[in-house]
Amino acid sequence: MKIKKIASLVLCMVMLMSIIPLETAFAAPYISWMGDAFSANNLYYDDDLQSWKRHKDGYVSLYDSNGNRYFKEKAYDVVGLDEKGTKLISSKNSTKIVDKSGNLIKDFGDDDAFEAGYGYVHRYNSAGQYQLYNSKGYKVIAAGQYDYGNPVARKRVIVCDASGKYGMINNVGELIIPVKFNDIKYVSDERILVKNSSGYWGIIDINCNSILACMYTKLDYISDSRILASKSTNGCKRQSILQNKW
């Protein structure tokens, strides 16, 4: 008997859905905070239950978890930078880093700043020189110091200089791996794949200790205990899976 009732209920729901659009059946048409009503389809949330809505003219308004609008300027775009609610906001005349209360952390004064991942911000100055900032507004890479920075973790940034050599810095710009490699692939602090000046790959750790000598033409990370290694011997290309070699 219970099975028949459940089957009947499911059938009724299917029939109802064929008549009523999905967005009408399951979504409230409007959400109202502090007298500001807006379409639910234009409302976005982040991990801190902060939200922003996109207006019909393309601008964005920002709200805190209590529904109070905390950034008064018209914003074009909003990107969350870290777990503390810090955001990168692009407005009409500038790009800013603000905290979750809307307080200014850093004003870049132009539109040449953009989110880089892991809480960092790329920026090019008026001379076209690359810079990198963290979410606190601290300049991690000064203008002209490196050609580019690639954040790969919260406190790890791969850098490349004008000669095309790679190294790694931390979140305050301190050099932790010398800028001398032809390429770097970060897996973890214990496993960093590096390519030497002769074109061979090996593995080091964050303290530059050699884990696997640079003797392979290619290394591909598979798992914490396995690496796919390619090596040429007497003109023959050989591939093997290295297991538990570090």
pLDDT at 41: 52
Question: pLDDT tens digit string along 223-235?
Answer: 878 888 998 877 7
Q: In this structure, are residues 140 and 171 in contact, taking their beta carbons and an 8 Å threshold?
A: yes
Q: Please, which residues have CB within 8 angstroms of residue 138's CB and are 6 or more apart in sequence?
A: 172
Residues 122-134 pLDDT 10s = 999 888 999 999 9
Q: Which residues contact 54 (CB under 8 A, 6 or more apart)?
A: 42, 44, 60
CA–CA dist 69, 54 (Å, integer): 13
In eight-state DSSP terms, residue 135 is: T
Nearest to 182 by CA among 131, 134, 218, 129: 218
What's the CA gap between 160 and 166, in Å, rounded? 5
Find out whether 240 and 229 touch, Cβ atoms under 8 Å.
yes
What three-state secondary structure class fits 3?
Answer: helix
Q: Which helix (H) or strand (E) holds 243?
A: strand 236-243
Q: What is the pLDDT of residue 168?
A: 98
Q: Closest Cα partner for 163 from 197, 192, 139? A: 197
Please work out, in degrees rounded to the nearest 5, the angle formed at the alpha carbon of residue 132 by the alpha carbons of 83 and 191: 70
C-alpha 177/C-alpha 210 separation (Å) is 12
- Give the pLDDT of residue 34: 33
pLDDT of res. 7:
53
pTM (predicted TM-score): 0.76
pLDDT per residue as tens, the chain (246 positions) = 555 555 565 555 545 445 444 333 333 333 333 334 334 456 555 555 466 667 777 777 777 777 788 777 888 888 888 888 898 998 877 899 999 888 999 999 876 899 999 999 999 988 899 999 999 999 999 999 999 999 999 999 999 999 999 999 999 999 999 999 999 999 999 999 999 999 999 999 999 999 999 999 999 988 878 888 998 877 788 888 888 655
pLDDT at 30 (0 to 100): 31
Q: Which pair of structure tokens corresponds to residue 119?
A: 């809480």
- Ramachandran sector of residue 205 (left: φ over 0; alpha: ψ -120 to 50; beta: rest): beta
Chain centroid to Cα 31, Å, comes to 29
Among 24, 46, 43, 48, CA closest to 33: 43
- CB 37: neighbour CB atoms within 10 A? 10
One DSSP character per residue, 21-68 reads -HHHHHS-SEEEETTEEEEGGGEEE-TTS-EEEE-TTS-EEEE-TTS-
Are the beta carbons of 149 and 141 closer than 8 angstroms? yes
